Amino acid sequence: MIVDNAPTVLSVKNLTANVNDTPILKGLKLEIKAGEIHAIMGRNGSGKSTFSKILAGHPAYEVTGGEVVFEGQNLLELEAEERARSGVFLAFQYPVEIPGVSNLDFLRASYNARRKHQGLEEVDPFDFEDVVRDRLQVVQMDASFLDRSVNQGFSGGEKKRNEILQMALLEPTLAVLDETDSGLDIDALRIVAEGVNQLANEKNAMLVITHYQRLLDYIIPDYVHVMYDGKIVMTGDKELALELEAKGYDWVDELQPVGV
Amino acid sequence: MGVDLSGLTDLNKADLDALTANSTPGDRAPGKAAQRSTYYAGLLSTVTAATPATDWELVQRLRSQAQAVAQEMALPSTRDEDWRFTDLSPMLAITLRAPALTTLEPAAIAAFAIPEAPVRVVVVNGRFAPELSNLAGLPEGVTIGSLMAVTDRERLASHLGQQGSQDAFSVLNTAGLNDGVVIELERRVQVAKPIHLLYVATADQPAISQPRCLVLAKAGDSHCTLIEDYVAIGQGGYCTNSVMEVVLGNCATLHHVRLQREGEQAIHIGKTAISQDWNSHYTLTTISQGASIARHSIDIAQTGPGTETILNGLSVATGEQLTDTHSSLVLSHPHGTADQLHKCIADDRGHTVFNGRVFVDHDAQQTNAAQLNRNLLLSPKARVDTKPQLEIIADDVKCSHGSTVSQLEETELFYCRSRGLDLATARSLLLDGFAGEILDRLPIASLRSTLASQIAQRINPGSSS
Amino acid sequence: MSASVSTLVNQPYKYGFVTDIESDTLPRGLSEETIYAISAKKNEPEFMLEFRLRAYRQWLKMTEPTWPDVNYPAINYQDIIYYSAPKQTQKKQSLDEVDPTLLETFEKLGIPLSEQKRLANVAVDAIFDSVSVATTFREKLAEHGVIFCSISEALKEHPELVKKYLGSVVPIADNYFAALNSAVFSDGSFVYIPKGVECPMELSTYFRINNGDSGQFERTLIVAEEGSSVSYLEGCTAPMYDSNQLHAAVVELVALDNASIKYSTVQNWYAGDANGKGGIYNFVTKRGLCKGKNSKISWTQVETGSAITWKYPSCVLVGDNSIGEFYSVALTNNCQQADTGTKMVHIGKNTRSTIVSKGISAGKSKNSYRGLVKVGPNADGARNYSQCDSMLIGSNAQANTYPYIQVQNELARVEHEATTSKIGEDQLFYLAQRGISAEDAVSMMISGFCKDVFNQLPMEFAVEADKLLSLKLEGSVG
């Protein structure tokens, strides 16, 4: 929702970045205020996922210019875990499997790392079970998930639900959902989207990165940005997503000046 | 001295040497070392005496290098780690000669014809027999012929004798190199029908024949199925020592079927040495059921990225047979895949051996290698020795191996019987299932049923409970 | 970085100090005279001297094994000191009489021996340079008929027991290093659990190498009579020297009908520096004999130290229905080499064995699992399950798996599985994105990977082992 006079959560100015010395982001600008849901669309290779990894602080991506300010602090000078503890959450496109580490232990370690950062007391294993059981309902997950190793042997839908469960636990200020709809059937997509909608409020912000419009039928964005060659080239509301769906990405190509 | 060995007495014999951390496996027969050297030297002079003169410098050089190496070698013993479970001592009692020239009537080999594979290359006692072969109907871009008759010798220079590791038998083969079969595939050749490479042993003389074959698939999208088939006409004892070299250029695909159905008295030693360039696909399906002692060594090197290797194997040892498969797969480039399934069935006093090495080198990141070895023991005197071997230096890889030794599932047998099948039928049904998993991977329909019934005949369905 | 991990990672090898103590030492080198001298110093019964001499004569005929997947320069056996003991002529009856320097040493290692401080429910035999300096709780154990003492004392007080069982599981000429040990062993622990007794506390031996030039040759013998049970733990540390020290121990376990022995090891010998200089050569023969029906022997090992490890704790399952278990975590870092695993030899009917091996290789190290499962012709109904997993950290480490499976019984069932996984950048980033630091991430993944083995350790040691692994991996993940 767009809230008048809401504080700025994320401010990105002229961001440029390389992967293996190849420029991928070429001057990205974006401003997100509390309460807003933004969607970034674009074809594969336009730089969407790179942007999400940079926000989360992946070491393989090199920022070459510009600035990223999150709640008034320079995000780029924080380590990945410090960003997470400060409230930047990335729902991964491909959540990794971590054999041997139980989902429950992992969630508790993560939950306590965030709480510690917030100056709150860490939660012991017994109390944590109550906390996590409560959140499981958000993504309609069964408690047996908690005893399994992190993402190991999970179906694509289960992995994505596990991501949203973590989001529900960590209550981030900025949640970046990277291609969360990829690989989901319609039922899983609905569960995930409903989870996200339950978690959205006037204090946090969401950045939904997607290739297709279909996720945006369930998570209604306040703003839709189109990314092309490392920059945001168009911004509109939900209608832009529908237009893009109808006309295809070639339409965006044609609008670009020759030589870009 | 009061060391109490009661209850441990049998340990001091056979079991103790397995227990002892330190003794090398075959310390048992050191006295035979000299005999093994002498015997091997005899074999060497037998095979080299039969080599015809040639002006081909490459062949001269390969022979003389191999002869020099062979001077230092002996018949392998169970003291050699690679031959730990395969005792070749029975060979010592057989004096092997060079095979006499034999001519066969086409009718003599008619039974071995495979309907799906009209193109047939026949080799009798190690010699190419053009009169029995059928090379009509070869698609353009495929050349098959005698090694010694090759006109463009330059092309073979960097391939012949270059594949795989050297052991006492492959060295012996090269030292006595007299002829062989060369199969060449040009780029983009799609060979629709399988090529049948039929090795016939007349088994009427204690001879050592040394077949040799080189398959050369040039870079680029060729596709071919090759059936390498060892059969015998007579019942006598003999020895086959074969070497098959395959060089796959990039993007070439070969499905290689290897059928070892030698005579009951035979000693079969075979080496399959493969080199695979990037994006090539090699599938090997081996069915080993013949010979009294059989050893098949598979040496595969992936020499470029994105390469795929699939190995399927079925070994059956019944009676007093020993069937040994040693495979070595070396992955040294990124994004390689390897998938191996090897199954063994040991019945009566049969003994199967499997040693499967997978080596993933430093640069072979993103490798995906899986190996599975399943063994079925069907009788109280049968024996299985297996040793998967995984050696990994790269860290970003997905590798697994598994190995099982068991008998037919009691519950499955019971299920079949509860549906009215008698025990023998139930057993053969389950055995068919076990073997079928490999046989079904044969790309030639007629072979599946022929081999299934040959294997079923070997295994007496009522041999044990 | 969490506080516990950061304290740990900042002290690479905290046991590397040397105790300055006067020693009674034989000259370097090995000959029959050395054997006579060792035996005389220990005032041994005649049969022991004969045992040693036979072993020595056998050893002379043997050659050092070359098949393990490890490389090291040739060992000069004439340059080793075969007997070195802290100068206190007699083992003291009361701990108060033990040289305070020794008590301090063990206290520094976290093994307090004095009455006031010692661990409440663990009896400790403290071995310093191959000689037992103190054994705690002897009286309390004696009330239950349990004998727990050094093997030298056992030779004096219970020669008939030692004579009956010594060399019965690991014969003197079993292998090169076992033969050497049989010839020159200086001390070790002896445990005897009488019929029907459940040992009332954990027994433990703590091995400390101090001398830089002496070889270490301990001998441990544990006998569990019918229906008895015992849990035993050994720990090992050594100072940091630039040279390598040879440690060739032999451990023999005998379990009679319905008896069970649980043997746990936390091995943290000095591993050498980051460039592979120094460290212990740990060439050890450990074997348990399940002699009786329904007997059980379980090995649990956490191997993190030593420049080279070469050991295969084994079970010989002779008694019908007997059970062998092997749970192992072997971690190698820097230039360490480990060739370790187990042998399960099924001889009796319905014998069962389980192998769970977890290898972690980091740095430039080489970590090989080598295991034998052998089912003899009479072992009807034998079962084995093996699970061997490797974890690689960094791209210069090597993990090898060599399982040997030999089956000669058609009623047996053997299953072996192996997998390889890694701690990679993707996992670390994922965990970092959830607020978890790299150090915590690694220790979570390692604990998860090793869980099945740590669960087998006595509680307090499981925690210790977990910490030890994080510590050993310091600097290997970036």
Residues of A in contact with C447 (CB under 8 A): 100-101
Average per-residue pLDDT for chain A: 89
Domain count, chain B: 1
Residues in chain A, overall count: 260
Chosen for mutation from A79, A106, A112, A167 (greatest number of chain C CBs closer than 10 Å) is: A106
CB contact under 8 A, C289 and B8: yes
Cβ <8 Å between B405 and C412: yes
With a CB cutoff of 8 Å and minimum separation 6, the contacts of C247 are C209, C215, C216, C217, C269, C280, C281, C282, C283, C284, C306
Nearest to B2 among C164, C291, C399 (CB): C164
Q: Provide the phi-psi class of C278: left if phi over 0, else alpha when psi is between -120 and 50, else beta.
A: left
User: What letter would DSSP give residue A40?
Assistant: E
Confidence bin at C119 (pLDDT 50/70/90): low
Contact C404 B11 (CB under 8 A): no
Q: State the sign of the Cα–Cα–Cα–Cα dihedral B319, B273, B166, C340.
A: negative
Write out chain B residues lying below 8 Å of C67, CB-based. 24, 81
Position B40 pLDDT exceeds 50: yes
C31 to each of B181, C26, C52, C74, C79, how far by Cα in Å?
63, 12, 11, 19, 12
Sheet containing strand A22-33, edge to edge, reads A22-33, A8-19, A61-70, A73-74
Q: Which CATH superfamily is domain A8-255 in?
A: P-loop containing nucleotide triphosphate hydrolases (3.40.50.300)
Asked whether residue B245 is domain-assigned, the answer is: yes
**Neighbours of C (≥3 Cβ pairs closer than 8 A)?**
A, B
B192 within a domain of the structure (yes/no): yes
Kindly list the residues from chain C whose CB atom is less than 8 angstroms away from the CB atom of residue A59.
425, 429
Torsion angle of alpha carbons C85, C89, C94, C95, nearest 10°? -30
Taking residue C110's Cβ as centre, other Cβ atoms within 10 Å add up to 13
With an 8 Å Cβ cutoff, is C46 touching chain B? no
Give the chains touching A; criterion: ≥3 Cβ pairs < 8 Å: C
Q: What is the pLDDT of residue C473?
A: 65
Place of tokens 């929702």: A1
Judge whether residue B21 has pLDDT over 50: no
Which contiguous run of DSSP H or E holds residue B246? Answer: strand B239-248
CB C194 within 8 A of CB C228: yes
Q: Token pair 């209850």 is at which residue?
A: B7
- Residue C321 pairs with which residues in a beta bridge? none
Min mean pLDDT across B263-267, B284-288, C195-199, C328-332 is at C328-332
- Kindly list the distances between the CA atom of residue B463 and the CA atoms of B229, B314, B362, B377, B381, in Å, as whole numbers in the listed order: 29, 20, 48, 11, 11
pTM of the model: 0.78
Interface check A67 vs C, CB under 8 A:
no
Six token digits for residue C274: 């980051």
Phi first, then psi: what are they for C21, rounded to 5°?
-145, 145
Is B422 inside any structural domain? no
* C376: nearest CB among B15, B23, B407: B15
Within a domain: residue B281? yes
* pLDDT of B461 higher than 60: no
**From the CB coordinates, do chains C and A have 3 or more pairs under 8 Å?**
yes
Which is nearest to B219 in space by CA: B186, B181, B257? B186
Task: Report whether pLDDT(C223) > 80.
Answer: yes
Which residues of chain B lie closer than 8 angstroms to C392, CB-CB? Answer: 392, 394-395, 397
| Contact of B345 with B317, CB cutoff 8 Å | yes
Contact present, C and B (at least 3 Cβ pairs less than 8 Å): yes
Q: Are B444 and B114 in contact (CB under 8 A)?
A: yes
Phi-psi region at B460: left, alpha or beta (left = phi > 0; alpha = psi -120 to 50): beta
One-character DSSP codes across C370-394: EEEEEE-TT-TT-EEEEEEEEEE-S
Pick from B403, B408, B352, B353: which is nearest to B374 by CA? B403
> Scanning every residue of chain B, which has its alpha carbon at the shortest distance from the alpha carbon of C399?
B392
**Per-residue pLDDT, C1:** 26
- Tell me which chain C residues have a C-beta less than 8 angstroms from the C-beta of A57: 432-433
pLDDT tens, position by position, B396-413: 778 888 889 988 877 777
Distance separating alpha carbons of residues B318 and B291, to the nearest angstrom: 10
- Measured CA to CA, the distance from residue C184 to residue C217 in angstroms comes to 7
Q: Is residue B16 assigned to a domain? A: no
Contact C444 A101 (CB under 8 A): yes
- By Cβ distance, the residue of B7, B16, B399 closest to C291 is B7
CA distance C417 to chain B (A): 4
Q: Is residue B347, in this structure, part of any structural domain at all?
A: no
Instruction: Count Cβ atoms below 10 Å from residue B57 Cβ, excluding itself.
Output: 10
Mean pLDDT of C75-88: 83
Q: Cα–Cα distance between C99 and C399 in angstroms, integer?
A: 45
Instruction: Please answer yes or no on whether C404 and B377 come within 8 Å at the CB atom.
Output: no
Q: Chain C 51-90, CB below 8 Å of chain B: which residues?
A: 51, 54, 62, 65, 67
| Helix ranges (DSSP H) in A57-118 | 80-86, 103-117
Burial of B432 (0-12, 13-18, 19+ CB in 10 A): middle
Structure tokens at C136: 């705690």
What rounded mean pLDDT belongs to chain B? 87
3-state secondary structure of A149: strand
Of the candidates A146, A159, A149, the one whose C-alpha atom is nearest the C-alpha of residue A101 is: A149
pLDDT tens-digit profile, chain A (260 residues):
888 889 999 999 999 999 888 999 999 999 999 999 999 998 888 999 899 999 998 888 899 999 999 999 999 999 888 999 999 999 998 888 887 788 898 899 889 989 999 999 999 888 999 999 989 988 888 888 898 888 887 888 889 999 999 999 999 999 999 988 877 778 888 888 998 999 999 999 999 998 888 888 899 999 999 999 999 999 999 899 888 888 888 888 887 765 44
Which tokens belong to B441? 């991977």
Q: How many CB atoms lie within 10 A of CB A125?
A: 9
Asked whether the beta carbons of residue C374 and residue B380 sit closer than 8 angstroms, the reply is no
Give me the phi and psi of A134, to 5 degrees please. Answer: -60, -45
Q: Which chain A residue is nearest to residue C435, measuring alpha carbons?
A: A81
d(CA A53, CA C429): 10
The arithmetic mean of pLDDT across residues C353-370, rounded, is 91
pLDDT mean over C345-372: 93
Report the run of H or E that residue C244 belongs to, with start and end: strand C244-247
Domain of residue B253: give its range: 31-304
Token match 């019942």: residue? B235
Q: How far apart are CA C341 and CA C401, in angstroms?
A: 9
CA distance C433 to chain A (A): 5
Question: If contacts are CB pairs under 8 Å, which of residues 288-307 in chain C contact chain B?
Answer: 289, 291
Pairing of strands B308-317, B337-346: parallel
Give the Cα separation of C81 and C34 in Å (integer): 10
Q: How far is A244 from chain C (nearest CA, A)?
A: 32
Q: Is-contact C223 C254, C-beta < 8 A?
A: yes
Measured between alpha carbons, how far is C40 from A12 in angstroms, rounded to an integer?
83
A153 touches chain C (CB under 8 A): no
Q: How many residues does chain B have?
A: 465
Q: How far is C428 from chain B (nearest CA, A)?
A: 14
Q: Best interface-test mutation with B: which of C332, C355, C410, C426 has the largest number of B CBs within 10 A? A: C410
In a domain, B207, yes or no: yes
- Flag whether B350 is in a domain: no
By the CB < 8 Å criterion, does C287 face chain B? yes
